Structure 1
């Protein structure tokens, strides 16, 4: 069983769905294998899970030779409330983010701020995302490969991204909490910072 099959099976177990029956988009970048985005409806939410970003371990872009087996591996999980108009462009944006390690040498990790440079979906105020600990358990791979971690993706506005750069990720999370902001709401405004 390859990495993608293991990841897909873990998503199916976690959400109790048949991944063959869910909507799937595929995003391909020149020179890279496709990244799939699974759209999984839930109770009042929709989950978007990437499959394919963890195909190869992330590594130091300055390294002369990349280790083909060892190194951190990551996938992304975006959860949004339904009924607020997100959708068009989400798969492409998640594909770009999941491909960032292979394209730009970025290592995905907790509290990473990734800038898209454009709205995450059509008419969205969010142009960046903040990664955090995800609800999905790690996907174990055969030794000596590292497990695959799923990171929760939280869309952020340009103002919120600037706040993270100055004060840190936890300060933004605290501001959301204090203001009662539902970060799963795709129609939410920015936190007053």
Structure 2
């Protein structure tokens, strides 16, 4: 079974979904990236499928190992109906392609800033990565398991807060203000 088939099966099993809607994003020079949309009650989980096709490589490494290295996919969860987040598929494709394009390794507490709205008319221009609830998908040795990282939309002000004070400080501000980070209409944390 191919890596992406394993990842798709694990995502569908985790959310208890027999299937998922999907959209494909392609960028010049990269293999297609699929974005799965899984509805779970009032929540929609957008899950990338393609970032784990190859391991991420440290840009300082002299040679990229085709089998060893971390592999990741992103999960962005929002409350609300389908169609309200026009453009999000493209933005998630850009975020998950960043290891191939920019040579970064996606990890918890990383801030990925697009500098433009994540979807049409959204106040969010960046995503803060954290641990996602989907369990890692084991792969045959010597490949590392595929990890899932949550991608939480953040405003430019919140992104600046992360750069100055760190991801933990922003999460504390969200908790203190009882902000639902899955609400696409939420206000930014009062920092």
TM-score (norm 1): 0.96
Q: How far apart in 1 are the matches of 2:139 and 2:175?
A: 36
- What RMSD in Å do the two structures reach over aligned CA positions? 1.2
89 and 160 in structure 1: CA distance in 2 versus 1, 3 angstrom threshold: same
| 1:93 alignment partner, one of 77, 91, 94 | 91
Q: How far apart in 2 are the matches of 1:127 and 1:55?
A: 26
- The residue aligned with 2:158 is 160
| 1:52 alignment partner, one of 50, 53, 58 | 50
- The residue aligned with 2:6 is 6
- The residue aligned with 1:76 is 74
Contact 1:140–1:146 (CA under 8 A) maintained in structure 2 = yes
Q: Give the unaligned 5+ runs of structure 2.
A: none
> Aligned with 1:65: secondary structure?
coil
Offset at residue 12 of structure 1 (A): 1.2
Q: Give the unaligned 5+ runs of structure 1.
A: none
> Aligned with 2:45: secondary structure?
strand
Q: How far apart in 2 are the matches of 1:83 and 1:53?
A: 26
Contact 2:44–2:82 (CA under 8 A) maintained in structure 1 = no
Contact 1:49–1:76 (CA under 8 A) maintained in structure 2 = yes
- The residue aligned with 2:17 is 17
Q: How far apart in 2 are the matches of 1:86 and 1:60?
A: 36
User: For this pair of structures, how many residues does the alignment match?
Assistant: 191
TM-score (norm 2): 0.97
- The residue aligned with 1:109 is 107
